[in-house]
């Protein structure tokens, strides 16, 4: 006989909601399960669907960045000269702010260790990264070859690969968007946006 204790593994603390919302797939829970939630349960479910919280490392890293920026600004402010309250030099006010910033950073470093308000970088974070690369590429290419082609490529990447649209709607909408922007910014408003055509 198979021992009863060897029951199929149940995901710890998991619910159907958590399982369904984990992947890229659109949320498709049976409506009935969702519909009878009280506000409290609904709140709990929203909590579950949030991206996973980052741990102490994220807090330490962000606090250290804050402290670093603060210290840098303190040093630069002192170099500008502080002066006295009745005869302030340009550095006094930035010095005050950056000192406060360093203090807050230190406080956050220690007191915020157990905070869970930062989000983990997950597989999903490649989407904004891709988005960012396309934006940077567009900024770099616009002065060289005009905005039309980079904009078209950006639309296609965002819709097809980041948004999961079909090829057909991607191409149709992207072309439409670029033509519309050309019409608005070049033909109608006559702005000096670099354009190819």
Q: How many residues line the site for other proteins (CB under 8 A)? A: 83
Q: Please, which residue, 7 or 192, has the CB nearer to other proteins?
A: 192
CA dihedral (28, 30, 31, 33) in degrees, to 10, reads: -120
Q: Please, which residue, 6 or 188, has the CB nearer to other proteins?
A: 188
Q: How far is the CB of 10 from other proteins (least distance, A)?
A: 25
- Residue range at the interface with other proteins (CB under 8 A); choices 1-9, 11-19, 158-166: 158-166
157: its two tokens: 């990447």
Contact between 98 and other proteins (CB under 8 A)? yes
Q: Please, which residue, 8 or 62, has the CB nearer to other proteins?
A: 62
Q: Please, which residue, 13 or 85, has the CB nearer to other proteins?
A: 85
Residues 131-150, mask of contacts with other proteins (x by CB under 8 A): xx--xx-xx--xx---x---
Q: Please, which residue, 7 or 38, has the CB nearer to other proteins?
A: 38
Distance CA(31)–CA(17), nearest Å, equals 12
Q: How far is the CB of 78 from other proteins (least distance, A)?
A: 12
Return the residue of 111, 145, 175, 196 that touches other proteins, per CB under 8 A. Answer: 111
For every residue of the chain, DSSP letters joined together read: ---TT-PPP--TT--HHHHHHHSSSPP---HHHHHT--HHHHHHHHHHHSPPBP-HHHHHHHHHHHHHHHHHHHHHHHHH--B-SSSB-TTHHHHHHHHHHHHHHHHHHHHTTT---SB---GGGHHHHHHHHHHHHHHHHHHHH-SHHHHHHHHHIIIIIIT---HHHHHHHHHHHHHHHIIIIIIIS--------
Contact between 82 and other proteins (CB under 8 A)? no
CA dihedral (85, 91, 97, 103) in degrees, to 10, reads: -100
Tell me which residues in 59-78 interact with other proteins (CB under 8 A): 62, 66, 69-70, 73, 76
Contact between 154 and other proteins (CB under 8 A)? yes
Q: Please, which residue, 6 or 143, has the CB nearer to other proteins?
A: 143
């Amino acid at each position: 006989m198979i021992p009863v204790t060897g029951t199929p593994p149940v995901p710890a603390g998991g619910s159907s909601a958590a399982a369904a919302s984990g992947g890229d797939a659109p949320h498709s829970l049976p409506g009935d399960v969702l519909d009878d939630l009280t506000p409290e349960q609904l709140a709990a479910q929203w909590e579950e669907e949030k991206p996973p919280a980052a741990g102490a490392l994220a807090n330490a890293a962000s606090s250290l960045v804050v402290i670093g920026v603060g210290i840098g600004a303190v040093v630069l402010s002192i170099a500008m000269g502080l002066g006295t309250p009745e005869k302030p030099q340009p550095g006094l006010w930035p010095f005050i702010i950056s000192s406060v910033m360093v203090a807050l950073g230190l406080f956050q470093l220690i007191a915020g260790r157990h905070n869970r308000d930062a989000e983990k970088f997950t597989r999903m974070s490649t989407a904004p990264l891709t988005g960012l690369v396309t934006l940077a590429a567009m900024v770099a290419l616009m002065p060289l070859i005009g905005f039309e082609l980079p904009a078209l490529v950006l639309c296609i990447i965002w819709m097809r690969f980041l948004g999961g649209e079909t090829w057909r709607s991607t191409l149709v909408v992207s072309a439409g968007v670029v033509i519309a922007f050309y019409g608005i910014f070049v033909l109608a408003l006559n702005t000096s946006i670099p354009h190819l055509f």
